[in-house]
Amino acid sequence: MIKRDAEKKLKELAAGFPAVSVIGPRQSGKTTLVRSVFPDKPYVLLEDPDTRAFAQEDPRSFLAQFERTGAIIDEAQRVPELFSYLQGILDTHNKPGHFILTGSQNFLLMESISQSLAGRVGIIRLLPLSMRELSREGISITPFEKCLYTGFFPRLYSTTIEPADFYSSYIQTYLERDLHQLKQVQNLSVFQTFMKMCAYRNGQIVNYSSLAQDCGITHNTAKEWLSLLETSSIIVLIRPHHKNFNKRLVKMPKLYFTDPGLAAHLAGIQSPDTISYHSLKGGLFESLIVTEFLKYRFNQAKEANLYYWRDQHGHEIDCIIEHGGRDLIPVEIKSGRTVNNDYFKEIAYWNTLSANTPDRSFVVYGGDQSQKRSAGHLIGFAHLDPVFAYLS
Q: What is the pairing mode between strands 254-257 and 235-238? A: antiparallel
Q: Which DSSP helix (H) or strand (E) runs through 349? A: helix 345-354
pLDDT reported for residue 104: 79
pLDDT band at 246 (very low <50, low <70, confident <90, very high): low
pLDDT reported for residue 247: 63
The span from the CA of 216 to the CA of 222, in Å, is 10
Any idea what DSSP says for residue 29? S
Window from 69-83, 101-115, 256-270 with minimum mean pLDDT: 101-115
Residue pLDDT, tens place only, 260-306: 999 999 999 999 999 999 999 999 999 999 999 999 999 999 999 99
Backbone angles phi and psi of 377, in degrees to 5: -90, 130
Helix residue ranges per DSSP H, 255-330 = 260-266, 272-275, 281-298
Q: Which DSSP helix (H) or strand (E) runs through 189? A: helix 188-200
Number of C-beta neighbours around residue 380 at 10 A: 17
pLDDT reported for residue 392: 87
Residue of 282 and 117 predicted with greater confidence: 282
User: Is the backbone of residue 387 left (phi > 0), alpha (psi -120 to 50) or beta?
Assistant: alpha
309 close to 173: Cβ distance less than 8 angstroms: no
Residue whose C-alpha is closest to residue 340's, from 309, 313, 363: 363
With both helix axes pointing from N to C terminus, report the angle between 188-200 and 208-215 in degrees, rounded to the nearest 10: 130
Cα 1 to Cα 35, 129, 154, 321, distances in angstroms: 11, 11, 9, 32
DSSP letters of 219-230?
A: HHHHHHHHHHHH
Window from 64-78, 101-115, 141-155, 311-325 with minimum mean pLDDT: 101-115
pLDDT reported for residue 388: 97
Write down the domain spans for the chain.
7-125, 131-392
Residue pLDDT, tens place only, 207-224: 999 999 999 999 999 999
Window from 32-46, 54-68, 105-119, 353-367 with minimum mean pLDDT: 105-119
The span from the CA of 359 to the CA of 371, in Å, is 12
CATH architecture assigned to 7-125: 3-Layer(aba) Sandwich (3.40)
SS (H, E, C) 230-264: HHCCCEEEECECCCCCCCCECCCCEEEECCHHHHH
pLDDT band at 165 (very low <50, low <70, confident <90, very high): very high
User: Is the backbone of residue 320 left (phi > 0), alpha (psi -120 to 50) or beta?
Assistant: beta
pTM for this model (two decimals): 0.95
The span from the CA of 130 to the CA of 265, in Å, is 19
What does the chain come to in residues? 392
The span from the CA of 289 to the CA of 335, in Å, is 10
pLDDT reported for residue 238: 97
Rg of the chain on CA atoms, in Å: 22
pLDDT reported for residue 244: 65
Residue of 231 and 362 predicted with greater confidence: 362
